[in-house]
Structure 1
Amino acid sequence: MSDETTVTRNDARNRYELRLGDELIGRVDYRIDGDVMDMYHTEVDPAHGGNGYGNRLVAHAVADAADTGLMIRPTCPFIATYLDRHPEYADLRA
C-alpha cells in the first residue's frame, strides 16, 4: 500500500474522498443548493486518526469550493472550526 494520500471530488456521491493508496480513509459529504455547498459531515477512519488527515481533506474541499465559485455552509462542526481557524476563507461562509 502507498503512503501517499489523494483527495478527489466525487460528484456522483456528493462527497470529497480521501484515499491512502487505494484505501478510502475519509470523506466530506456535501449538498449543493444554487451557489452554496453545505458541507454537513466529515469523517476519517479512526484507525487513521491523529495524523492530520482530516485537516488535509477539509483544506482540499474548501479550496475546491472556492475555486469553483461556491459559498460554504459549514453545518459540520469540524468544517466550521476549520473556517474559524483560517480567516482567509471568511468571505466563503454562506
Structure 2
Amino acid sequence: MPVEIVDNAEQSRFEILVDGTVAGFADYRLLPTKIVFTHTEVLPEHEGQGLAGKLVGHALDASRDTGLRVVPLCPYVGKYIERHPEYKDLVDGSTAG
C-alpha cells in the first residue's frame, strides 16, 4: 500500500494518500510566521493504520523546514507534540489570531 503525503495548499491542508486516494488530512490556516492546525481526520476505512501520526509528523517537519511556528488548535496535533517532545520548540505560545 503506497502512502504519500502532500501539501494541498489550495485547500489549506496536508493530505495523506493511500494508493493515490485521500485517506486523511490535517487542515491548517497559514499566517505570515505561523501555521495553525485546526483539524485532523483519517477516514474510517483507514483508521488504525498509524496514518494520522505519519501525516502530522510530516506536517510538523514541513513547518520546521519552512521556519513556521506551530499553533496546535487541533487536539490531535497537540497530543502528538506532547508525545513527541522533539517538536515542542515549534509551538507558538501567542494567540493564533
Question: Could you state the TM-score of these two structures normalised by the residue count of structure 2?
Answer: 0.92
Residue 34 of structure 1: how far off its partner (Å): 1.6
The partner residue of 1:72 within 70, 73, 76 is: 70
| Structure 2 unaligned regions, length at least 5 | 93-97
Structure 2 CA distance for aligned equivalents of residues 22 and 83 of structure 1? 28
Corresponding residue to 2:32 among 26, 31, 34: 34
Question: Aligned match of 2:17 in 16, 19, 23?
Answer: 19
**Counterpart-to-counterpart distance in 2, 1:19 and 1:63:** 18
Structure 1 runs of 4+ aligned residues shifted over 6 Å read none
1:5 Cα deviation from its structure 2 partner: 0.5
Q: Superposed, which structure 2 residues align to 1:54-93 within 5 Å?
A: 54-93=52-91
- Distance in 1 separating the partners of 2:9 and 2:21: 19
Tell me the TM-score normalised to structure 1 length.
0.95
Q: Distance in 1 between matches of 2:65 and 2:59?
A: 10
Identity %: 37
Shift of 1:73: 0.2
Kindly provide the amino acid, as one letter, of the partner of residue 25 in structure 1: A
Looking at structure 1, the residues matched to 88 and 12 of structure 2 have their Cα atoms a distance apart, in angstroms, of 23
- Across the aligned residues of Structure 1 and Structure 2, the Cα RMSD in angstroms comes to 0.6
User: How many residue pairs align between the two structures?
Assistant: 92
1:83 match: secondary structure: helix
Displacement of 1:72 in angstroms is: 0.4
The alpha carbon displacement at 1:57 in A equals 0.5
